[in-house]
Amino acid sequence: MRDLLIVSIVGVMAAMALKRPWIGVMLWTWLSIMSPHRYAWGFAYSAPLAAVAAAATLLGLFLTRERQSPFQGPPMVWFLLLTLAITFSWLLGMDTAGDYEQWNKVMKIYFMTFVAAALLFSKHHIIAFAWVSAGSLAVLGVKGGVFTILTGGNYRTWGPTGSFIQDNNEFALALIMAIPLLHFLQLQVSKAWIRHGISAAMLLCAASALGSHSRGALLAIAAMGAMFWWRSKKKGPIALMIGVVVLALLPMMPEHWWSRMDTIRTYEEDASAMGRINAWIVAFQVAKHHLFGAGMSYQHEILFMLYGVYDQKTLAAHSIYFQILGNHGFLGLFLYLAMWVSAYRMAGWLNRNARGNPETRWAADLGAMAQVCFVGFAVGGAFLSLSYFDLPYNVMVMVVLAKRWVVTRAWEREAPVSFLEYAGLRRSKHQQSGSSAAPAPQASNRTRSVKP
């Protein structure tokens, strides 16, 4: 039953993507982040559903006239340079053939990120992109949060099998990044029951992140909580929600959870923490001796034998910074940091410059919450290997597109139609009355009038 449902959804959305390729972007995002097929038990589990979504989206991209240059701002230019640097690193790396699978996986994600930047342009697009990106994780977070509460935090929460967030640590960081996006969406809805539902989802995502038993996630949620409160317009309710997390969720966590978190203080006595520090030392030495790093992975036994200080056991970087440093060298790390700093600054621009106009206030909300998301990623990522995960790149694209929307005063050109009408899921009132002046949901003339 699950298999048929998932495949049916993919089939319908893929067909819709041929006419409206932006729907294909939403389908790809859902499959990539949530990996719903990994919760099936039959043929859908290993079916190439993401390939179907990508193929339909690309075909729609070639057929549509409603596309733009994906390089709409400095973050996307830095992103292109990073993509090229990663490719050079792979080609000149220690194990080009062995690293191909990882390079191919990363390039698919990066390529579809560029496709998203080329196909999305309207307010409907950007908000739908946020709903799919955050909602995919919210479903998993609600499930994991309920599990954590029912089991008293005695068992860990895990992400979808075979995904970038399969590991408990990466899964927790993804949930933490989803929380500010959920709050952004909460600010855009008027119905009280939806707002309350989103609040519950945010709390359960936080519970699920704590239930992962990830020390990096605990640091990330603390940093994000402080930034969240600072950037929020409604500091009282946000402070109350943070208080609920602290007073309701933390006391229920078991003793072995507290013992594990206590090793943040006494990392010198923790073998796991010292293993990570050793992996960071190896990453630095690899970058020091290899201009483009080791390739798509510096976890080679020979490198740990050469450069390991505390241990010669091969371990993952457990840090986005040292993962990029060891894999792609100092040049790769510079481009990676420049991209995120540029995206953070652009989000700040939105928060400052779009706040005063009622038409653009949603973009200011997005900028503020995107900064919170980036801070959570920066802090949690310091202790987790999640350099290539889709979500932060999706947020970067949202920020770039939102600034473009504000600068070009796109609200003056967009037809006032509902999302369902825009997506072709419901006939517009003009069409129902037989008017020949019905606003076209795609509005291709508006898109072509905007210079890239």
Task: For residue 286, tell me if it sits in a domain.
Answer: no
Contact 186, 195 (CB under 8 A): yes
Whether residues 153 and 38 share a domain: the answer is no
Q: Worst-scoring range by mean pLDDT, 12-21, 162-171, 224-233, 318-327? A: 224-233
Q: Which residues of 114-145 are buried (b: 16+ CB within 10 A; e: fewer)?
A: bbbbbbbbbbbbbbbbbbbbbbbbbebbbebb
Calculate mean pLDDT across residues 216-222: 85
Percent of the chain scored above 90 by pLDDT?
63
pLDDT at 267: 59
Q: Report if residue 304 sits inside a domain.
A: no
pLDDT greater at residue 414 or residue 20? 20
Whether residue 339 is found in the same domain as residue 375: yes
pLDDT band at 437 (very low <50, low <70, confident <90, very high): very low
Q: Provide the number of structural domains found in the chain.
A: 3
Is 435 contained in some domain? yes
Pair (105, 165) in one structural domain = yes
Q: Is residue 129 part of a domain?
A: yes
Domain check: are 4 and 149 in the same one?
A: no
pLDDT-based confidence at residue 348 (cuts at 50, 70, 90): very high
The span from the CA of 64 to the CA of 21, in Å, is 8
| C-alpha torsion sign, points 191, 192, 196, 199 | positive
pLDDT at residue 27 tops 80: yes
Statement to judge: residues 49 and 162 lie in one domain = no
pLDDT of residue 260: 84
Residue 243 in this model has a pLDDT that exceeds 50: yes
CA distances from 50 to 53, 163, 370 (A): 5, 12, 26
Residues 57 and 192 in one domain: no
DSSP state at residue 233: S
Helices (H), 21-95: 21-34, 49-63, 74-91
pLDDT tens, position by position, 159-171 = 998 888 999 989 9
With a cut of 50, say whether residue 452 has pLDDT above it: no
How many angstroms separate the Cα of 157 from the Cα of each of 203, 204, 263, 359?
15, 12, 20, 40
Q: Give residue 451's pLDDT band: very low, low, confident or very high (50, 70, 90).
A: very low
Q: Which residues are CB-contacts of 427 (< 8 A; sequence separation ≥ 6)?
A: 421
How would you label 288-326 residue by residue, b for 16+ Cβ within 10 Å and e otherwise? eebebbbbbbbbbeebbeebbeeeeebbbbbbbbbbbbb
Instruction: Answer whether residue 380 is part of any domain.
Output: yes
Kindly state the average pLDDT of the residues 120-146. 95
CA 83 – CA 332 distance, rounded (Å): 9
On whether both 80 and 130 belong to a single domain, the answer is yes
Domain limits for position 39: 1-67
343 and 440 in a common domain: no
Q: Are residues 191 and 120 in the same domain?
A: yes
CB 262 within 8 A of CB 268: no
For the stretch 186-190, contacts whose Cβ atoms lie closer than 8 Å and that sit 24 or more positions apart, written own/partner, are: 187/233, 187/362, 187/365, 188/127, 188/362, 188/365
Same domain, 136 and 32: no
Of 67, 100, 124, the residue that ends a domain is: 67
Query: What's the pLDDT score for residue 315?
Result: 79
Higher confidence at residue 262 or residue 105? 105
Mean pLDDT over 402-415 rounds to 91
Residue 296 lies in a domain: no
69-73, 82-86, 238-242, 259-263: least confident range: 238-242
pLDDT at position 343 over 60: yes
Residue (of 413, 281, 400) closest to 349 by Cα position: 400
Asked if residue 443 and residue 361 are part of one domain, the reply reads no
Residue 252: count of CB within 10 angstroms of its CB: 15
Percent of the chain with pLDDT over 70: 92
Q: Give the span between the Cα atoms of 195 and 390, in whole angstroms.
A: 26
The answer to whether position 13 is within a domain reads yes
Average of per-residue pLDDT values in the chain: 88
Instruction: Answer whether 413's CB lies under 8 Å from 446's CB.
Output: yes
Helix axes 361-381, 123-150, angle to 10 degrees: 50
Q: Is residue 309 part of a domain?
A: no
CA distances for 363 relative to 134, 194, 389, angstroms: 16, 20, 24
Contact assessment for residue 298 and residue 290, using Cβ atoms and an 8 Å cutoff = no
pLDDT, tens only, 352-396: 999 989 999 999 999 999 999 999 999 989 988 889 999 999 999
What is the rounded distance in angstroms from the CA atom of residue 324 to the CA atom of residue 35? 25
One domain for residues 164 and 120: yes
**Res 270: pLDDT:** 58
pLDDT value, residue 139: 96
Q: How confident is the model at residue 438 (pLDDT cuts 50, 70, 90)?
A: very low
pLDDT at 28: 97
DSSP 36: G
Give helix then strand counts, H and E, for the chain: 19, 0
